[in-house]
Amino acid sequence: MKVAVLYGGISSERPVSLSSGNAIISALMEAGHDVTPVDVGADIATTVSALRQAAPDVVFNALHGPMGEDGAIQGVLEWLKLPYTHSGIRASAVAMDKGATRTLLAAAGLPIANGRVIAVSELLHADPLPAPYVIKPIAEGSSVGVEIIRPADNRRAEIAQTWRFGDEALVESFIPGRELTTAVLGDRSLAVTDILPADTTKFYDFDAKYSVGGSRHVIPAELPDAVTQRALDLALKAHRALDCKGASRTDFRYDDETDQLIILEVNTQPGMTPTSLLPEQAAYCGISYPELCDWLVRDALTH
């Protein structure tokens, strides 16, 4: 099968996408596909030209962040009538917008943290929520720009003055406890992973996600069976509520003391780097990395 792999992109997650893309290219070649790598830059006309020249049967979208997983490149591929991996325009746009995601998850009756979208200027004057709370960019991934404000923290005004992610932000109550994640492949939740940052004084930030040794992944997570099943069920429900396709990954916080399991976000373009969670869960379920990549391109032809 002729597969074009889109990777790189112009978002802050370009290094992650390059790492994912290189691994995917090698895996698809190993699986027997005819692969054309397309490093996506600022000139979309160059990308369109490369895709037309490659004339692929299917496109593997390995882009991350704005313009890659927010519906933008999906719209280009729809225009070109090229099948592509992962979610379509609407699910991609909604999942990339954390405020819109909250609205759909709440409408589906799924558990989310107390919070709201605010004008960043509000942070100059007062705490929008009782501390501790989390400040997140509306449309970034990989924990880019995430800040935790704890009691007696005086960084609120400084964060507002140096904010570089638009005029709005999402603020949510901080949920104590463990960082869990569950990947979905098609109509199947794979497993629950407990994510333990190497530096326990920090949350699961960009470095913890992508640096070698930045975090330890426990799979399957050591949880009561009922909690594991709840996470598996919620991830599949979130996947369906947003109308995701192919693979997605739902991130949670779980508070052992209160038995509270809260959805943080749904990722429609889960990372595919060597340290990424989706490939780890697939391997745990007996699906090798080349088999995972092959499944995704074949699934794309069924949408």
* CATH architecture assigned to 115-172: 2-Layer Sandwich (3.30)
Residues of the chain with CATH 3.30.1490.20: 115-172
Residues of the chain with CATH 3.30.470.20: 95-112+176-288
For 221, residues 6+ apart whose C-beta sits below 8 A from its C-beta are 178, 180, 192, 193, 194, 228, 231
Catalytic residues: 13, 142, 210, 249, 251, 265, 267, 271
Which position has the token pair 């991130």? 251
* CATH architecture assigned to 2-86: 3-Layer(aba) Sandwich (3.40)
Q: Transcribe 19-57 into DSSP letters.
A: HHHHHHHHHHHHTT-EEEEEEE-S-HHHHHHHHHHH--S
For 142, residues 6+ apart whose C-beta sits below 8 A from its C-beta are 12, 13, 16, 64, 65, 206, 209, 210, 271
73 three-class SS: helix
**pLDDT tens track, the chain, 303 positions:** 999 999 999 998 899 999 999 999 999 999 999 999 999 999 999 999 999 999 999 999 999 988 999 999 999 999 999 999 999 999 999 999 999 999 999 999 999 999 999 999 999 999 999 999 999 998 876 567 899 999 988 899 999 999 999 899 999 999 999 999 999 999 999 999 999 977 555 554 444 444 455 578 999 999 999 999 999 999 999 999 999 999 999 999 999 999 999 999 999 999 998 779 999 999 999 999 999 999 999 999 998
**pTM score of the predicted model:** 0.89
Beta bridge partner(s), residue 6: 38, 61
The CATH code that applies to domain 95-112+176-288 is 3.30.470.20
pLDDT at 144: 76
